[in-house]
Amino acid sequence: MSIRAVILVLCLAPTTAGLIGALVPATGWFAPLGRSDFSIQPVMMFFDQPGIWSSIWLSGFTAITATLLSYVLAMFLLASIYRNGRSGVLFRLISPLLSVPHITVAVGFLFLLQPSGWLIRLLSPWLTGWDRPPDLYIIPDDLGIGLIIALTAKELPFLMLMGLSALSQMKVNDTLDQASSLGYGTYSAWLYTVQPQLSGRMRLAVLIVLIFSVSVVDMALVLAPSVPSPLAPRILEWFRDADLDFQFIAAVGAVAQLFLSLLCCVIWLLCGRMMHRLIRVLIYHGLRPRVPAWVSQSIKLAVFFVALLPCFLSVLGLMSVTIWGFADIWRFPAPLPDEWGFRAWISSADNMIVAGTNSLIIGLASSCLAVCLVIIWLEQTASRRQSTIESWLYIPLLVPQASFLFGLQIVLIWLRLDGLYITLIWVHMLFVLPYVMLSLSGSWRQFDQRYTELSATLGSSQMKQFFRVKLPILLTPIMTAFAIGFAVSCALYLPTIFASNGRMITLTTEAVTLATSASRQALGVASFLQMILPLFVFLCCDAIIRLRLKPFRYFRH
Amino acid sequence: MKRKQNNCSIGGRIHQYLSLIALIISVSVISLYQSQANADDFETTITNAKGQTVYFNAWGGSPAINQYIAWVGQRMADEYDITLTHVKLSATSDAVSRILAEKTSGKLTGGSVDLIWINGENFAAMKSYGLLQSDDWAYHLPSFIYTDADLLPGIKTDFGIPTDGQEAPWGRAQLVFGYDTAYVNTPPRSADQLAQWIIANPGRFSYPKPPDFTGVSFLKQILLETSPNPHMFLEPADQTDQNMALATLWKWLDQTHPYMRKAGRHFPANYTAMIQMLGDGELAIAFAFNPTEFSNGIAQGILPNTIRSYVHDSGTLGNVHFVAIPFNANSTAAAKVVANFLLSPEAQLHKANSDIWGDPTVLAMHKLPPDTQYAFAALPKGVATLNEGDLGKTLPEFHPSWVSVIEQQWAKRYIGQ
């Protein structure tokens, strides 16, 4: 219990301290600016900001739509393919997207879809007749649709992974066999028997996606409309305003974001409950919709198309990012660069080496630490079920980032911990650990105790049982969790700038800095490296697993 | 009596002369001594700076500028054993709010910022909140003798605020427009002509979204050209009727916004994004705060070589940018050495080269040695760079209090509509 308490404190202390650090200025108290009286003034000023309701609405709308879209599509995909065992193939196809940082996907969308983007370059002027970029309302568009699609492209693979892991703990095929023997089709069988169990197990993952989407800054900076922006980038903008009065507004914004996230969660959960009711009614009436095979086939195809479109667009986007990295000159509307070259690589080499090294070190350290802590945690919890205390570990993901990071920055400076490598690793760990826990806890709890019991009867010590029996058997999920942790760390933007005091650059901070500047080439280089680094770690982990499993390959079927 | 008086007066005159000469000698000796003392002081500073690391917080959005700063870092390492780390900001106010956070939490020494690239509103904020080294260190930099505040008042008053030596001049900026000769025959040379051109060519003009610095500067330029009384903007904003003062700007924008890119509902994030749009042909006219920006863009392949630059007939907005040292800087001595080097003829010459950065110098030519003057005159000039003479008049910057007024009013009118 005591080790678990230490882990809890490690994860929760920064979040709590940060929240307090944001709440206090929101009430008007900020002694260093000579304000030591509590007042409602900051709240009034916040609601006085032009377009504030549009910002709030935009944040809520894009978040809920993107989450709904990725959830429904993920469920549809799973329902379509889980049973015939091809989910592995599909998942392997879209899982590389899991490792690509959010900002890279966003930059890809920008390079692909903006009026001067690759798509229009490929179609112009032979098809469109445009020899100049058209004045179109795409990327950024008024409704934030570009942001929604990009978020979906990123969250769909994540929800699929979570879904697959949850399904592996259920007796899906047996249930579906029974249902279809009673005359239910593929989707109704899934909806009536699997979905109700699955949705409960997916709840945490979906809420994480929802809150992430409410508070996303880096993707919104690139893809969302800016007049006004969604709430999260505006909070950052207020924090950065030279007029120091805006600090108060930013603090109120941080609190407002917390409430907005809560509201979105409540809406989501209420809708989920209503769906549940509806499904129960359907089950009660035993509704078995009979549709001709061609209809269900075409629905299936359409769903595949819609589900894979965001992923396909992001792959195209990532390709255009890569091309830009090697384009010395690329005029509109040429479909490919006029002059290829390494100019951007040469001129940004120094920076990229520093940024890449930082990303690598921080990523490796924080995910190593997180994996170790999660294993310790799981070993300390005897029960096979998730405890309430364990869900507290997810709090850093369930509180919008901007809401506690500014406060945390003040606390870190106060403790003289700002800008240290160790601090950055710690803060990254806050975000990495919950994902590692999500990915690892299922397999860990499914571990067949008889293996260790058997080795105990052969006289091995506890240590030996753990290191020689349990760890090697669980190597695959451990390496997967590690790779996911690394990808999460690589993608973190706000935590990096707040905890490093802006002093330490990573590939992500470089990419965001470059994302609004002129040099698409330099941005291409940064984004290319951002794609490669987590992929490299994924492949390394994969290689380790293969190497380890090689002696046993004849036992697998 | 008379003679005596004469004698006396002659003697008095001689005495006066003598005392004058003595005064001159003593003054020059003292000043010589002082400058010697200054030089000695600075020798001490250089010695103290050895081995220190300077975290230079400067906007990092331009590869050309980043490379220039990297060059400075190399020179500092070679000559003074100083490690210069460029902390690339996406907005200068990031660093300002960080220094504020440090003051908030009582970190009065060992701060994270040693040197910051700054001017205008950010300087005014930092100065008024006491976030800067408050002595007049900048005036005592050895390189400061090459400047002439009479010729360029901007080096001692930053947007109407006296610098009091709390920041050292680094470079000079002037608003310059660029147009694509492929799409524009005669560029519009005034705010009125620009409005007519925008209406005649829908979707091909935009400006960076305020509070972006260049975007706000463009709004100021329009104000200076359309306002019946532009002098009021030199005074603090609270001394006039702000609604009246800004009325001509809103009229101009209301007229032109529907014909701007994306109907004036989406704006580029900053000037570099706008320059990129000019390069793509999405825009036909853009502007920048650096006279060599367009030549640089052509050299880097961002812009086609059909781009040329121009200024408005009535002159364009200009200002000086600086470097300052925060009150809690960790390596003050090294920061001063860096600031001094940035102001030195060598660094200024390198910076003015449009192949490098192309930022105009803040040094006064007549105070430089002849060979340095010659080197400045011999700098290569890109096809899209105007001559010093063609740059026309520099219009004075607004009092900084206007910036937030313009930003807020703009936001009220055009955000969330």
Give A52 to chain B, closest Cα distance, Å: 8
Q: Which residue has the tokens 């904003």?
A: B237
Per the CB < 8 A criterion, the answer to whether A149 and A310 are in contact is yes
Summarize the confidence of residues A175-198 as an average pLDDT: 86
State whether residue A379 sits within 8 Å of chain B by CB.
no
With contacts defined as CB-CB under 8 Å, which chain A residues touch B77? Answer: none
Give B47 to chain A, closest Cα distance, Å: 26
Q: Which residue has the tokens 């709030």?
A: A56
> What is the total residue count of chain B?
417
State whether residue A414 sits within 8 Å of chain B by CB.
yes
pLDDT at position A518, please? 57
Residue contact A228–B415, C-beta within 8 A = yes
Residue contact A227–B209, C-beta within 8 A = yes
pLDDT(A32) > 60? no
pLDDT at position B21, please? 52
**Lookup: tokens for A26:** 């929101």
pLDDT at position A479, please? 92
pTM: 0.82
pLDDT(B79) > 80? yes
Residue B33 or A402, more confident: A402
Helix (H) or strand (E) holding A480: helix A475-491
From the list A55, A244, A516, the residue facing B269 with the nearest CB is A516
Other CB atoms within 10 Å distance of the CB of residue B19: 11
Q: What is the pLDDT of residues A322-332, one digit of tens each?
A: 999 999 889 88
Q: What is the pLDDT of residues B107-132, one digit of tens each?
A: 899 999 999 999 888 999 899 889 99
What are the structural domain ranges in chain A?
Answer: 1-30+344-557, 51-341
Task: Mean pLDDT check: name the lowest of A299-313, B28-42, B101-115.
Answer: B28-42
**Lookup: tokens for B353:** 């080269």
Residue contact B105–A411, C-beta within 8 A = yes
- Judged by DSSP in three states, A141 sits in coil
Residue contact A518–B262, C-beta within 8 A = no
pLDDT at position B195, please? 97
pLDDT(B7) > 60? no
With contacts defined as CB-CB under 8 Å, which chain A residues touch B270? Answer: 516-517
Smallest CA–CA distance from B205 into chain A, residue: A135
Say how many CB pairs under 8 Å bridge A and B: 171
With contacts defined as CB-CB under 8 Å, which chain A residues touch B103? Answer: 32
**Binning pLDDT at 50, 70 and 90, where does residue B20 land?**
low
Nearest to B144 by CA among B322, B330, B377, B397: B322
Give A19 to chain B, closest Cα distance, Å: 16
Q: Give yes or no for a cis peptide into B211 (omega within 30° of 0).
A: yes
- Interface probe for A, chosen from B275, B355, B415, B417 (most Cβ of A below 10 Å), is B415
Residue contact A54–B55, C-beta within 8 A = no
The rounded distance, in Å, linking the Cα atoms of A214 and B108 is: 36
Residue contact B129–A520, C-beta within 8 A = no
pLDDT(A461) > 80? yes
With contacts defined as CB-CB under 8 Å, which chain B residues touch A146? Answer: none
**Lookup: tokens for B331:** 């390596």
With contacts defined as CB-CB under 8 Å, which chain A residues touch B304? Answer: 331
- CA separation, residue A120 to residues A112, A127, A135 (Å): 8, 9, 12
Amino acid occupying residue B2: K
Give B157 to chain A, closest Cα distance, Å: 19
pLDDT at position A282, please? 86
- CA separation, residue B318 to residues A479, B58, B290, B330, B370 (Å): 58, 20, 9, 33, 27
Q: Which residue has the tokens 């506890």?
A: A462
DSSP B77-126: HHHH--EEEEEEESSHHHHHHHHHHHHHTT--SS-S-SEEEE-HHHHHHH
- CA separation, residue A14 to residues A217, A405, A412 (Å): 20, 9, 9
From the list A347, A348, A413, the residue facing B105 with the nearest CB is A413
- Average pLDDT score over chain A: 86
Contact residues, A window 205-244, toward B, CB-based 8 Å cutoff? 221, 225-228, 237, 239-244
- Judged by DSSP in three states, A493 sits in coil
Q: Which CATH architecture has domain A1-30+344-557?
A: Orthogonal Bundle (1.10)
Give B29 to chain A, closest Cα distance, Å: 45
CATH number of A51-341: 1.10.3720.10
Q: What is the pLDDT of residues B164-205, one digit of tens each?
A: 999 999 998 899 999 999 999 999 999 999 999 999 999 999
Residue contact A522–B261, C-beta within 8 A = no
Summarize the confidence of residues B2-12 as an average pLDDT: 42
Measured over the CA atoms of residue B388, residue B390, residue B391 and residue B392, the dihedral's sign is positive
Residue A400 or A290, more confident: A400
From the list B183, B281, B416, the residue facing A133 with the nearest CB is B281
Residue contact A240–B97, C-beta within 8 A = yes
Residue A42 or A212, more confident: A212
- CA separation, residue A86 to residues A92, A166, A198, A202 (Å): 10, 17, 19, 21
pLDDT at position B402, please? 92
Amino acid occupying residue A369: L
pLDDT at position B326, please? 96
ipTM for the predicted complex comes to 0.83
Residue contact B266–A503, C-beta within 8 A = no
Helix (H) or strand (E) holding A290: none
- Interface probe for B, chosen from A234, A237, A240, A328 (most Cβ of B below 10 Å), is A240
* Beta bridge mates, B326: B132
Residue contact B100–A32, C-beta within 8 A = yes
pLDDT(A144) > 80? yes
With contacts defined as CB-CB under 8 Å, which chain A residues touch B66? Answer: 351
Contact residues, A window 96-115, toward B, CB-based 8 Å cutoff? 115
pLDDT at position A96, please? 77
The rounded distance, in Å, linking the Cα atoms of B163 and B157 is: 5
pLDDT(A552) > 90? no
With contacts defined as CB-CB under 8 Å, which chain B residues touch A110? Answer: none
A322 Ramachandran zone, left/alpha/beta (phi>0; psi -120 to 50):
alpha
* Beta bridge mates, B59: B89
Q: Let me know if the fold of A1-30+344-557 is the same as that of A51-341.
A: yes
- Judged by DSSP in three states, B188 sits in coil
Smallest CA–CA distance from B414 into chain A, residue: A227
**Binning pLDDT at 50, 70 and 90, where does residue B247 land?**
very high
Domains of chain B and any CATH numbers: 44-172+320-385 (3.40.190.10), 176-318+395-414 (3.40.190.10)
From the list B98, B416, B417, the residue facing A501 with the nearest CB is B98
The rounded distance, in Å, linking the Cα atoms of B41 and B336 is: 12
pLDDT(A360) > 90? yes
Smallest CA–CA distance from B304 into chain A, residue: A331
pLDDT(B32) > 50? no
**Binning pLDDT at 50, 70 and 90, where does residue B417 land?**
low
Summarize the confidence of residues A54-83 as an average pLDDT: 92
- Long-range contacts of B249-255, Cβ-Cβ distance < 8 Å, separation of 24 or more: B249/B219, B249/B222, B249/B223, B249/B406, B250/B409, B250/B413, B251/B226, B252/B191, B252/B195, B252/B222, B252/B226, B253/B219, B253/B222, B253/B413, B253/B414, B255/B195, B255/B199
Please give, one letter per residue, the 3-state secondary structure of B297-317: HHHCCCCCCCEEEECCCCCEE
- CA separation, residue A389 to residues A385, A395, A437, B392 (Å): 11, 11, 13, 70
Amino acid occupying residue B248: T
With contacts defined as CB-CB under 8 Å, which chain A residues touch B95? Answer: 502
From the list A31, A135, A503, the residue facing B262 with the nearest CB is A135
* Beta bridge mates, B86: B56
pLDDT(B392) > 80? no
With contacts defined as CB-CB under 8 Å, which chain A residues touch B67? Answer: 347
Summarize the confidence of residues A246-258 as an average pLDDT: 88
